[in-house]
C-alpha cells in the first residue's frame, strides 16, 4: 500500500495531501475515491486511510485504522559525512534512510574536495530532503529523516554535545586491528538514546581533526579489515546496528 508523509491534518480522522504527493496520487498512481493509502503524520503516527475527495489541488483521505506498530530502530542514528564528490551523498541519504538513519549531517572536512556553495544551498537541500522522503515512503518508515544544511567541522564539534554516544569510523583504527569500540557502544546504548556516527570524505580525516574529535569525547572505531570507500561505511554500520537490535534480540 502506497505511503505518504503528510504534515497537514484537518483533524484526528482526516489528512489533507497537496503539492507533489497530490500529483503522484492522481497522475502517477491514478488512484480514485475509495482507494486506500497509508498516511504518516509529523509525529510518526501512521494510519490506513481511504481517499474521500480529490480536487485539482489536494487529496483528502479519511482514517480507516491507526497503526500501532512503528517500523523504526529503537535508537536515533545521525550520519555525519564529510562532503563527498559527485552524487555520493545522495546515495548515502537514500540508502541510509532505507536502513533506518534518523538524521544526515554533512560537514566540510579539511580534505573535502567539494566546497559548499551557499548560492545553490536551498535547491541542494530541497533535493536531498526529497530523496529522504521518497526512500522513507518506499521502505515503510514511520519517521522522515532530516537532512541538515552542511556545517563546518567546528560546528560539528559543537553540535556533537547533543548526542548520547559519539563514534568516528577511522581507517587507521581498522589497520591497527581495533574491533571493540563499535560493538561495545551498541551494547551500552539504550532504547531512545542517540548515536552520532562520523565518516570522513574520500581522503579521510586529518590527524588534527581526529585529535579534536577525541578531545570532544568521540571514540574511534575500526570497521573490520575491509576498507570502505566513502558511502559504504555508513551503510555497513547501519546494517550492523539493525542486526544487533532487530535480529540478535
Confidence of residue 115 (pLDDT cuts 50, 70, 90): confident
Q: What predicted TM-score, i.e. pTM, was given to this entire model? A: 0.89
Averaged pLDDT for residues 11-40: 92
- For the domain made up of 3-66, give the CATH fold: Ribosomal Protein L25; Chain P (2.40.240)
CATH 3.40.1280.10 fits 76-247, yes or no: yes
Number of residues assigned to the chain: 249
Whole-angstrom Cα distance, residue 244 to residue 241? 5
Averaged pLDDT for residues 20-47: 93
Whole-angstrom Cα distance, residue 50 to residue 60? 9
DSSP-assigned letters across all residues of 23-41: HIIIIIS---TT-EEEEE-
The pLDDT, as a whole number, for residue 57 is 92
Domain ranges of the chain: 3-66, 76-247
Measured over the CA atoms of residue 30, residue 44, residue 16 and residue 148, the dihedral's sign is: negative
The pLDDT, as a whole number, for residue 114 is 79
Residues 28, 22: contact at Cβ < 8 Å? Answer: no
Q: Is the pLDDT of residue 228 over 80?
A: no
Amino acid at each position: 500500500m502506497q505511503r505518504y508523509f503528510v504534515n497537514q491534518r484537518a483533524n484526528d480522522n482526516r489528512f489533507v495531501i497537496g503539492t507533489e504527493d497530490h500529483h503522484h496520487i492522481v497522475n502517477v498512481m491514478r488512484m480514485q475515491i475509495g482507494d486506500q493509502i497509508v498516511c504518516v503524520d509529523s509525529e510518526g503516527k501512521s494510519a490506513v486511510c481511504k481517499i474521500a475527495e480529490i480536487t485539482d489541488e489536494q487529496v483528502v483521505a479519511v482514517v480507516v485504522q491507526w497503526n500501532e506498530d512503528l517500523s523504526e530502530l529503537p535508537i536515533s542514528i545521525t550520519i555525519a559525512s564529510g562532503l563527498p564528490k559527485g552524487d555520493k551523498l545522495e546515495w548515502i541519504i537514500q540508502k541510509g534512510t532505507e536502513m533506518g538513519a534518523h538524521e544526515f549531517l554533512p560537514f566540510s572536512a579539511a580534505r573535502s574536495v567539494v566546497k559548499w556553495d551557499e548560492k545553490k544551498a536551498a535547491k541542494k537541500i530541497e533535493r536531498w530532503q526529497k530523496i529522504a522522503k521518497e526512500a522513507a515512503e518506499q521502505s515503510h518508515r514511520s519517521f522522515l529523516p532530516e537532512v541538515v544544511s552542511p556545517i563546518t567541522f567546528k560546528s560539528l564539534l559543537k553540535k556533537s554535545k547533543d548526542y548520547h554516544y559519539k563514534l568516528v569510523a577511522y581507517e587507521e583504527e581498522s589497520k591497527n586491528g581495533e574491533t571493540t569500540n563499535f560493538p561495545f557502544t551498541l551494547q551500552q546504548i539504550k532504547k531512545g538514546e542517540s548515536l552520532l556516527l562520523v565518516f570522513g570524505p574520500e581522503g579521510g580525516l586529518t590527524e588534527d581533526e581526529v585529535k579534536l574529535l577525541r578531545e570532544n569525547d568521540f571514540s574511534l572505531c575500526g570497521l573490520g579489515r575491509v576498507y570502505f570507500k566513502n558511502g559504504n561505511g555508513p551503510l555497513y554500520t547501519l546494517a550492523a546496528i539493525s542486526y544487533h537490535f532487530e535480529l540478535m534480540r
